[in-house]
Amino acid sequence: MPQGEINYTSGNDYMLEFLGYRFAFGSDDFRERVTAAAVKLDLVADSDLDEDEALDLVELAAESRIEEPRSPLGRYLMRHWERLSLNDGESLVYWLRKLVFRGAYLDHRVKEDLLEVTFDEVTGDFGYAEPEGGRALLELAPTPSWRSLQFKR
């Protein structure tokens, strides 16, 4: 991959590199992806965050830290950072970024007609499949859970 090539773009507000890929995100796209990642990791119970809570998560994912917490969620993350930053050897920042990038990567592959979105009516889950009927991506790699450390309102 040529140095500096952007592999995914939805705007120019956030530019991040992850595992050799470079993605550029618009503010709304990045905020939605970070919030969804926090829900997937059980860090928060649902995506119904107020603006300050979402901004604290965005700063954490983008900068690997929260300089000045804006919300009770941000203060919780900073107060309990020793326990939250690593959970069973898994880094919270790494996983927030990984899920943001995973979603953007899959969306980009769908947009380029390299993957198709599928729906399993039995389970109610969405998945991905190769358009030519190749190997279906039935399940994405499992993710760690921060449920025992989840932020409670």
Residue 2: pLDDT band by 50, 70, 90 thresholds?
very low
Q: What is the pLDDT of residues 47-84, one digit of tens each?
A: 999 999 999 999 999 999 999 999 999 999 999 999 99
Q: How far is CA 31 from the centre of its chain?
A: 9
Q: How far apart are the first and last CA of the chain?
A: 44
